[in-house]
Structures are given as C-alpha cells and as structure tokens.
Chain A
Amino acid sequence: MPEFLQFAFSGLTVGAVYALVALGFTPIYNASDVINFAQGEFVMLGGMTTVFLGLAGVPLPLAACLAVVVTVAVGLALHRFAIEPARGASAVALIMITIGASIFLRGAAQVVFDKRFHSLPPWIGGDAIRVGGATILPQSLVVLGGAVVIVVLLWAFIERTLIGKAMVATAANELAARLVGIDTRRIVGLSFAISAAIGAVAGILISPITLTSYDVGTLLALKGFAAAMLGGIGSAVGAVVGGLLLGLLEAFAAGYVSSQYKDAVAFLVILIVLLAIPRGLFGRASVERV
C-alpha cells in the first residue's frame, strides 16, 4: 500500500508539471487554433532566465518576475515576427512555424545561457510531508497550487471580461470579429503574451523539481501536448485533469511495469486519444446550427 501511495504521489507531482505546461497551450489555441510547439521553450525560458538572473545576484523573487517579463517579450516577438507575417496561412503552416521557432529558441538559449543543468531552490522549503508511509515534497504542492490558480485566473478572464470574450469571438469567427471592430491581430498577440506568461510561471515553479537546461522544452512540450490532447485541447480544466492523469499513468507504468517505458506512455496516450476520443475528455463539443 505505501508503494501504491508513493507511486500516486510521484505521479501527481509529475502530473502537476505536465498540467502547468499543458495549460500554456490553451490561450493561443483558443484565439487562433494554433498549437504552439514553442510552448516548451517558454517553460525553459522562465526557468533558465530565473536561474541566470539569480546567478547574477538578482534576488530570486525579483528574478522570477523579470523572467516572466522576458518570456512575455519573447512570446510577443514570436507573434510579431513569425506568426503575424504569415497571416492568412493555414493553421498547419503556423504550427510548423512554431516548431521552427522552438528550434531557434533552443539554439539561442544554448548560446545565451549554457548547456549545463541548473536547479532552483524550492520556493517553499521544509521537509517532505509523510502520508501513510509515502512522502510528497511541499514544492509538488506549490506546482499543483500554481496550476489551480492559473485555471481560475484563465476562467475568470474568459468568462468575466469582455477582452476574454473577444478572444473567444476571434477564434470562433475571425471575420465577424473584425466586423464588430475587434483588432484581431492584437487579440492573437495578447494570447501569445498570456501563453508565454503561463509557460514562464510553469518553468519557474517546476525547475526545483525537474531541473532545467536549454533543451528541457522539447520533452516537456510533448508531454504537455499529450496532456492537453487527453484533457481536450483548449480546455483549461481539461489541461489540468489530462496532466494529472498522464503523470499518474507514467508513474504507475514506471512503478509496476518498467521505468524504461515511462516516456512511451505519453505517446501511447496521444495515439489512443487521437483514435478513440479526438476531442479529448473536456473538449468543446461544437454546437452549431447552419
């Protein structure tokens, strides 16, 4: 039993990481139907910028805030210089642009930062919490809490503000959005800023657990993408549920089958979801009468 509980805890810890990464896909996807494969690089930038500002002597809380600002600036630049010039291209072409951007950002990070692994001290210290013979680190709860806070903020933004609704409107019908006077370019730009901010916060929160280096983005983005697909891409709640489920599946697969197959679980999940429930668990059912 303690074994089962320990697998569950480590699954929830990893799952919370995936959930945070998966959440970052949501705003851009909702505003433009683009799956941003540079999302993992936003996570990397959040963590690495904090680490290097910290090494330069900036107090860590301030370094974390600056890292979010830097990552948002990168997100806006990605939109302005890579996505916006390709305006009117198909979503698939835009997705390929984001893959290119991800490779570029990884290369740039290698030069600007370095190629080593770095860690951040836990944001909340203290001993591991013991429950029923198993342990969980306080930092895992911070990551989980961060995911919950972001879901609530995103929900409030979409449901309670007119700008959030303009974002939904832009995704639902870009032509009509322009015809009511929405500057859809700025709305999509805003979605990149929000996704970048979520990615940066994710990187800052998870680095004490996962470590960070210039190339952590690739695998994190793939896992986060699998989680987002499982939960239903575009749904914030789905991203969290999908992330936690994926983390638990991986942990149990590693614990009871073999840790060699741990990473295969995510890809198996993508395949099964695409074949069986392409909309995911919480995906938008499109209700439309023509």
Chain B
Amino acid sequence: MLSVEDVRSGYGRIEALHGVSINIAAGEIVTLLGANGAGKTTLIRAICGVQPISAGRIRFENRQLEDLPAHARVALGIAQVPEGRQVFAPLSVEDNLKLGAWTRRDANLVAELASIYELFPMLAANRHISAGMLSGGQQQMLAIGRALMAKPRLLLLDEPSMGLAPILVEQILDVVRGLKQAGLTVLLVEQNARAALAIADRGYVVETGRIATSGSAAQLLADDRVQAAYLGV
C-alpha cells in the first residue's frame, strides 16, 4: 500500500534520513521503533509532505507522492496524528473535527461526527469547549478523531502515548487495535516499544537515520538487541 524507497531528508545541511526504505501492506499495523532523534518523526513528516525530501521515492497505492503538496496527500487517503497533538487550540472540539473532514466537503458530517463521538464519548461532552482547554489525553483523542474525519486508508500516528497516564495509553492503543479491525492501515511511531509491539504486526527499528533491523512483532520482541536497547530487558 505504501512503499518508501531510499528516502533522504534533512534539516538545513544536516541529513536526518540517510536512505530509508519501508513497506506497509494494506490492513497492517507497522511500528517504527527508535531512540529520540533517530528520524522516526522526520520519516512520518516526509510521508505526509510537510518535510521536504532530497532523494528517494514514496508511492501510495500506485501513485507517486514526492511532488504532491501535503493537502493533496490528505485527499488521497493519508492522515497524520502529529506528535504533540497539535489541535487547533482556539477552535471548539466540534470545529476541530469538522476541519478534519476538510478534504471531503460533500461528506455527511453529522453521521461522521456521531461515529467519532461514539469512539470518544468524552469529546461529545466537551464538543463546544475550545480545544486548548482540554487535558493532554483529551487532546490526543481529539487529534485522532480529527485525523479519522478525513476517512483515511492509511493513518500515521506519531507518539500517541507521549506524556499520557498509563490508563490513557492503554485506551488509545485499544482504539488503534479497533481501527485495524475496521480495515485501517496504521503506521505507529512509539517510544513505548513494548506497548507498540503488543499491537503491531511488524516493526522497523530506526537508528541514526537508517533502518537498523526489521521483522514481525514477535521476532523483534525476541531480538536480543531490541530487548537490550528498547525493551529494557
């Protein structure tokens, strides 16, 4: 469904991705593991088109993405839940969700909103409150809900558990698992490697801008190096 081939990208003269290739098949949950600064967020941003790439190819469902602006990629079916949630603070919860469906102007928003509120009931209770007033966990759910309003086929999640209480992390990972059952393909970046591998089918380990190793979730859980570096065994 998504294939990233030999992508290079950087900030100014400092290269952050030195030729990264990953593949994601439809219906999978794939996770990117790696330390801070390894390049996971850069890769996700490059897929969305908000981070320029200097070389390589990105293909989504047989369409080349490199030359498409970010907003056109959303219309193709790629949505991102960015790191740090990035909700529209001055707008209400409901307006945030409505803007999530920006690329689908003809959509029946009433039904869509209802399904998001069903997924995250606490958003329904706060629908008229400005998003900046929500707690971190609520903002994370709003960010996920907003991305889902775009009806994506590929969902990119960047550190959804960052700064959240364990019970909320559990809740959010449950939601991701449910989305997979509903047919969504997910690329999950997560510092909490154990939690990520628990729901993922496959994973890639990113180290200093390169793919260090990859394999099924079970293989990675059993890998000595992964255990030592990311699972704290």
Contacts and interface: CB of A to CB of B under 8 A. Distances in A.
A162 B132 CA distance: 19
A185 B75 CA distance: 16
A103 to B, nearest CB: 33
B90 interface: yes
Contacts of A168: 88, 90-91
B100 interface: yes
Interface string B69-95: 111001100011010001111110001
A288 interface: yes
B103 interface: yes
Contact of A173 (B86, B133, B134): B86
Contacts of A175: 50, 82, 86
B65 to A, nearest CB: 14
A165 B95 contact: yes
A71 to B, nearest CB: 28
B133 A183 contact: no
Q: Which of A176, A177, A178, A287 has the most CB of B within 10 A?
A: A176
Interface string B31-72: 000000000000000001110000000000000000001110
A276 interface: no
Interface residues of A, number: 22
Contact of A181 (B74, B82, B95, B130): B74
A98 to B, nearest CB: 24
B150 interface: yes
Given A162-B99, A162-B102, A169 B79 contact: no
Contacts of A178: 49-50, 70-71
Interface in B121-154: 130, 132-136, 139, 146-147, 149-150
Contact of B82 (A179, A287, A288): A179
Interface residues of B, number: 35
B210 interface: no
Nearest to B88: A169
A176 B133 contact: no
B71 A182 contact: yes
A274 interface: no
A180 interface: yes
A176 B87 contact: yes
Interface of A: 162, 165-166, 168-169, 172-173, 175-184, 284, 286-289
12 contacts: A162-B102, A165-B91, A172-B89, A172-B91, A173-B87, A177-B99, A179-B70, A179-B82, A180-B74, A180-B102, A180-B103, A181-B71
Given A168-B88, A180-B99, 17 more contacts: A162-B102, A165-B91, A165-B98, A172-B89, A173-B87, A173-B89, A176-B87, A177-B99, A178-B71, A179-B50, A179-B74, A179-B147, A180-B102, A182-B99, A286-B89, A288-B89, A289-B133
